[in-house]
Structure 1
Amino acid sequence: MTRDIIHFSHGNGFPAGVYRKMLGALADEYDVRAIDRIGHDPRYPVTPGWRYLRNELVDTLVRQYHGEPVWLVGHSLGGFLSLMAALKAPQCVRGVVMIDSPIVTPGWRTQMLRLGLLTGLYERLSPAGVTKRRRDRWPDWEAAWQHFVGKPAFARWDPDVLRDYIDCGTSPTGEGAARRLAFAREIEYRIYLTLPPLLAVRAMRGVPVPVGFLAGTESRELRQAGIGATRRIVGTHLRYVHGTHLFPMERPLETAAAVRDMLAELRGEHRRPLAA
């Protein structure tokens, strides 16, 4: 029996291999595939609104699956791009599961986001500023492990996921045992500064495929964006998983179970027409 396909899209700065434990837990039921590093193909540069990043995903769906609709699952950046792909090419998509990819609620939040992007304030308040200064090279695997394992931001991560981050989130430099970040800092930085602030307006008119949302109970990003627009887009398909914005790294097996449950829920939904 042919398994349904999940096409997974990763969060900003985290290659798909970092999610190996979560995705592996889905592989017994689904054929799981992914783009390893979104934004690193020069044919799809990072530009305001992520148009080409969306196109990278859509073109991958068309090329790999030849018109067969597949499930899109994405964390953070990947969730946004999955939603954008569903709006652009709904014929390629069965449904979308967004993992803590909160749509900024229209109103004062979107105005503040646009102002922050224009003035540079967003860079100072978001991870973008930290990204630019982040260390990106280590003499060997063990040095990279010791660097990350002692950081508070990684303290809650599942140890297997942290190992996968060293294995897949860093790569050999070709100079002895030295390693560097696999996801280029400059690309990660530009992605943070080119958010699509008007995505909510488009999505709230209606998405022609079912959409579900998994939220972190302690997600700062969700608190900042608000939940109103997301609720309007996903309807009743909203569930919480214990953890921060990075709960797929903190609780990969629980996240996989939540994704599986949400896909089962969405499977009963019918495609719906866009609102006028």
Structure 2
Amino acid sequence: MKDIIHFSHANGFPASTYRTIFAELADDYEVRAIERIGHDARFPVTRDWPYLVDQLIDDMSRYRRDAGGDHPKVWLVGHSLGGYLSMMAALKRPEWVKGVVMLDSPIIAGWKSNLLRITQWTGLDERLSPAAATKKRRTHWASRDEAWRHFVSKPAFARWDERMLSDYIDFGMPQSHANGARALVFDRHVEYLIYRTLPHTLGARLARGAPVPVAFIAGTHSREVRQVGLGFTRRIVDKRIEKMEGSHLFPMERPIDTARAIQRLLETMRTRR
């Protein structure tokens, strides 16, 4: 029986965007995912994301029930938003989790967590994060070709592996009309709220360490890693850290290399637990 990876996506990118990575992992792992985190009314987006963590745990509990008497532990892997949710789910249900791999989700701790809390109270965080731009995000395209041209013209997307961009267009903005028009499927207000409610308490909750093994992959040119730093994250992961050439979106830029790095880190955690 294959080990299960529960993968959690980054904000704004449905899980099917990562299909190239999932396919690379499929020989050794059964990969499961929530397609769009934050879009289930039972699990609204609120400060510190408690209900989003519950959404992940609820999804895990469903396939634990499906397994009958055999309740397998799972590996939690997540990118950005998904990495934080994976870590928080492991804190809440460590007995369900074998280990966590965080993809460019640096843990905010110490004075930086206090600064985040203050900026959230004052509204300054909107200007310091992608939140403001999210409110203006384009939501409709006349055709798939128009959507493709729109994204490849943007520097951040121009570096993407074509397979990842193709899946993002097909699953992130599916055809919405018989004439071929496409519409964004990830509610931009949900995306905005997720940016505005980034948890500032995770560092404090990890002050005594994590209850399961944790590994980390950082983008070499990640603005998020540069802003937060890796000091506290290194305390949690010890030597289970790798750097990947690329930005915060390195999984989209280097999907095969990302999948192989995930496999290496999972194997390290499996053999050294």
CA distance in 1, matches of 2:253, 2:194: 23
CA distance in 2, matches of 1:258, 1:30: 14
CA distance in 2, matches of 1:95, 1:46: 25
CA distance in 2, matches of 1:175, 1:53: 34
Name the counterpart of 1:180: 183
Structure 2 residue 134 is the aligned partner of structure 1 residue 134: no
CA distance in 1, matches of 2:41, 2:272: 37
Residues 178-204 of structure 1, C-alpha deviations (whole Å, 9 max, x = no match) = 111111100000000001101011023
Alignment of 1:86-101 (within 5 A): 86-101=90-105
Contact 2:109–2:202, Cα closer than 8 Å, also in 1: no
Question: 2:86 is paired with a residue of what secondary structure?
Answer: helix
Question: 2:272 is paired with a residue of what secondary structure?
Answer: coil
CA distance in 1, matches of 2:14, 2:5: 16
Which residue, out of 217, 223, 231, partners 2:226?
223
Structure 2 residue 80 is the aligned partner of structure 1 residue 85: no
Which residue, out of 38, 59, 72, partners 2:76?
72
Q: Which 4+ residue blocks in structure 1 deviate beyond 6 angstroms?
A: none
1:105 deviation in Å?
2.8
What is the TM-score of this pair, normalised by structure 1?
0.95
Name the counterpart of 2:34: 35
CA distance in 2, matches of 1:34, 1:111: 32
Structure 2 residue 25 is the aligned partner of structure 1 residue 26: yes
Name the % identity: 56
Name the counterpart of 1:204: 207
CA distance in 2, matches of 1:205, 1:55: 23
Name the counterpart of 1:246: 249
CA distance in 2, matches of 1:238, 1:228: 12
CA distance in 1, matches of 2:212, 2:148: 41
Name the counterpart of 1:62: 61
Contact 1:105–1:226, Cα closer than 8 Å, also in 2: no
Residue type of the alignment partner of 1:261:
R
Question: 2:252 is paired with a residue of what secondary structure?
Answer: helix
Contact 1:100–1:245, Cα closer than 8 Å, also in 2: yes
Q: Which runs of 5+ in 2 are unaligned?
A: 66-70
Which residue, out of 97, 119, 122, partners 1:119?
122
Contact 1:71–1:96, Cα closer than 8 Å, also in 2: yes
Contact 1:204–1:229, Cα closer than 8 Å, also in 2: no
Residues 119-166 of structure 1, C-alpha deviations (whole Å, 9 max, x = no match) = 111101211111111111111211111111111111111111111110
CA distance in 1, matches of 2:42, 2:145: 35
Which residue, out of 156, 159, 162, partners 1:156?
159
Which residue, out of 145, 149, 169, partners 2:172?
169
Residue type of the alignment partner of 1:58:
I
Count of aligned residue pairs for this structure pair: 268
1:175 deviation in Å?
5.6
1:208 deviation in Å?
1.3
CA distance in 2, matches of 1:204, 1:177: 51
Residues 70-117 of structure 1, C-alpha deviations (whole Å, 9 max, x = no match) = 11110000000000000000111111000000001312x122211111
CA distance in 1, matches of 2:43, 2:262: 28
Name the counterpart of 2:237: 234
Structure 2 residue 259 is the aligned partner of structure 1 residue 256: yes
